[in-house]
Chain A
Amino acid sequence: MSADAVTRRAVLKSLTMGAVAGSVMRVIPLEAADHAHHMIEAEKQSAGAYAPKFFDAGDYKTLQALCETIIPADADSGGAVEAGAPEFIDLLTSENEEYQKTLGGGVKWLDGNCHVRYGKPYLECGQAQQKEILDLIAFRRNAEADESLTSAVEFFTLLRNMTADGFFTSKIGIKYLGYKGNTFLTHFDGCPAVEGV
């Protein structure tokens, strides 16, 4: 894919061209490019599974499940987990106290509430039970009717935004949207002719 070629070139440029000054665009030798690309890939693989920075192992699993429920895989693309949304959310949360309160507290609330309602944590609940509790906290109008849900709704609102952020800024999310740019063009064609637009 041409998009991948550009990506690789961009990464390489930032890696290998630090020492060169000036403003004229230069071309990197292809071998150097490939070499650096393989270095990056190797580093990625050796890093292994993501170790959460903020959430404990159990809560992180719950976070992953919630992310995937918010943006699921479908026929057109993978879902939020494949897109790396949980890693992104965990990283930002580990650095932001507000997020820690809202998201950390939210996951605890969810498990606690599931215990009260169904006698088990969220991940052990059946599909219908999970849907029931999420339908309660996924809409502002429920908090307007029942104030005790306010912080749970705030939790889900933030998690939904961040899951969408994590998914739609990922490689698969961008492909899903059909963004076609970030390339080098010699001329710009403007708007393609389409009836009705």
Chain B
Amino acid sequence: MLQIGPAKKIYDVCIVGSGAGGGTAAKVLTEGGLSVVMLEAGRRLDPDKDFKEHMWPYQLPHRGVGVGGRQRGIGDEFMAPNGFWEIEGEPYTIAPGSGFRWFRSRIEGGRTNHWGRIALRFGPADFRAHSTDGMGDDWPISYEELAPYYDKVESYIGVFGSKENVPNSPDGIFQPPPRPRCTETLVKKACDQLHITCIPSRMAILTRALNGRDACHYCAQCGRGCRSASNFSSSQVMIPPAAATGRLTMIANAMAREIVVGKDGRAEGVSYVEKTSKTEQRVNAKAVVVAASACETARLLLNSKSASFPNGIANGSGVVGRYLTDSVGSDLVGHFLQLEKMPAHNHDGVGGMHLYMPWWRFGKKNEFLRGYHIEFGGGRNMPGVGEFDYVCETQEGYGAALKQKCRSVYGACIGFSGRGEMIPNENCFCELDPEVKDKWGIPVLRFHWKWGENELKMADDMQQTFRQIIEAAGGTVLVGARRHSKPSGDVQQQSNSISTGGAIIHELGTVRMGNDAKTSALNSHCQAHEVKNLFVADAAPFVTNPDKNPTLTIMALAWRTSEYLLDQAKKMGV
């Protein structure tokens, strides 16, 4: 290390990361009276400068796809600053024979700046996976223990949805859902025929004003960021109230290097690289909450080696980096002739789906364990680059016929995406690469990945279901078509039907919680078994990765962890 700054202020808590988990912890801890220093590896977010809400594609010379046309999908020019599949100077490596993609953020608010806002509670069975089907492990907490925190999060951030009593897909505290679009009405009719449950989606977007935030104005551009904060992001909804207490110190451009351990084996602070001055710095705190995203959190723990913790802090069990999972993903697109007859109308709605299909075969005997939900979208969205690649490829030729074909197909396609539960397996984990370091000299992660049989079966089942729905709705399957309109539309098809590991951006489980210190790193309060003033507040503690997107549970769990920390603060000398 080049230089360690003189030990100055000792904060009550240092939080690493400002996304869903870090933001929630910052709000709860500062409002609870603690002083908090937050390290964020990226810069501060400025919605008024950074968001391209309501811009038309022709207002940018590159029409959204950036220099050389290279910024596509989740990284296009219109998206809110959120993250990257590749970061210059900060590589990760993939073990031979594995396929994995890692999406990382370097911005205040992290991946909540762009996420799909799908806000689903895990169900009671999701916390009791092993007890239910004998695979994997149970969580050390039950749904009932987490439910009050789901209530708190939903009440505070605002989630729309409807009471449905779907088994293992619990209802929450909901604002009214928006009305369905034409594409959604069409698909729901087909689902009704097929006895597939199709209900209003549950999204962290306001349909009613809440806590000084305006209701949605239905421009469908949530992914670009929302100046009125009508959708949820940590940067606009969690960080501001924390800052308003006067007890939050935000240090941006701070890449955490390691958690510093004192002679007594407790965490004393965090050393980091101040990226703009390229200097080594350190903050001191009485407790440390790591919320850097599951794999970055594992990396930070593994890199925090000391005499007390030769395998990385809190890793006596050796589980840090293990039990890595992502959602099972699969896509299919259908074309619907009857949609071509729809007159031009405003189809925008919220940024994402108004209806979805929760797992509808829960408790039934299936070809595979666990389940999946279905997301879908399409229709008369704002046109973008790549919109008509498929038409061009199939129609070929040129001239008036091509132009007219594009117009008739416009708005008549619907894409379906399955999101299913992966069961942890021993072939999927991350570890420190023994040789490669990033440009800050910090050892990088090496990923190992192989889907299990259960996941492959599930993806095949998704494809069959999509096909059934498309056909029941009177549509035609478009083989080889890609979806353009989904927030997580960068899915690479690895096998016939399944996504590449990491591509769904639901990677988690790498610092799991449990009651047994030999098989878990954290206890039931997401507190390290071995380091009582060290907590984890992102998706790393998750024991399972159910078919419900992780963000809402990250926040509920972070809220619970933070309240525990507040409660323990006196005992811990914080």
Question: Which residues does A use to contact B, with CB under 8 Å?
Answer: 6-7, 9-11, 13-14, 17-25, 69-72, 74, 84, 87-88, 91-92, 95-96, 99, 134, 138-140, 157, 160-162, 164-171, 173-174, 176-192, 194, 196-197
Contact = CB atoms under 8 A, between A and B. Distances in A.
Contacts of B163: none
A24 B184 CA distance: 31
Contacts of B218: 183-185, 187-188
Contacts of B59: 7, 10-11
The interface centre, meaning the residue of A23, A91, A167, A181 with most chain B CB atoms within 10 A of its CB, is A23
A183 B396 contact: no
B385 A169 contact: yes
15 contacts: A14-B49, A72-B403, A74-B400, A88-B62, A161-B388, A179-B383, A181-B380, A182-B348, A183-B217, A183-B218, A188-B178, A190-B178, A190-B180, A191-B180, A191-B345
Nearest to A16: B48
B68 A24 contact: no
B130 interface: no
Contacts, number: 221
Nearest to B347: A181
Contacts of A162: 69
Contacts of B217: 183-186
B380 A180 contact: yes
B1 to A, nearest CB: 35
Contacts of B344: 178-180
B48 A13 contact: yes
B286 interface: no
Contact of A161 (B64, B70, B392): B392
Nearest to B403: A71
Given A24-B212, A171-B56, A197 B65 contact: no
Nearest to B236: A23
A180 B345 contact: yes
Closest 5 interchain pairs by CB?
Answer: A190-B179, A178-B344, A10-B54, A181-B348, A96-B68
**Dominant secondary structure at the A interface:** loop
Given A74-B403, A92-B62, A183 B346 contact: yes
Given A180-B347, A181-B220, A189-B346, A24 B69 contact: no
A183 B219 contact: yes
Contact of B63 (A20, A74, A166, A196): A166
A10 B181 CA distance: 25
Contact of B383 (A17, A23, A70, A174): A174
Interface of B: 46-49, 52-59, 61-65, 67-70, 178-182, 184-186, 212-214, 217-221, 227-229, 236-237, 240, 338-339, 341-350, 380-389, 391-393, 396-400, 402-403, 406-407, 410-411
A191 B380 contact: no
A133 to B, nearest CB: 12
A177 to B, nearest CB: 5
A92 B71 CA distance: 11
Contact of B386 (A99, A165, A192): A165
Nearest to B216: A188
B70 A171 contact: no
Contacts of B346: 180-181, 183, 185, 188-189
A19 B46 CA distance: 9
Contacts of B389: 161, 164
B444 to A, nearest CB: 28
Contacts of A71: 398, 402-403
B214 A192 contact: no
A73 to B, nearest CB: 9
A95 B338 CA distance: 41
A168 B402 contact: no
Nearest to A18: B49
Nearest to B181: A191
A13 B342 CA distance: 33
Contacts of B349: 188
Contacts of A166: 63
A125 to B, nearest CB: 16
A192 B227 contact: no
Contacts of B214: 24-25
A170 to B, nearest CB: 5
Given A160-B398, A169-B384, A196 B68 contact: no
A87 B59 CA distance: 13
A196 B62 contact: no
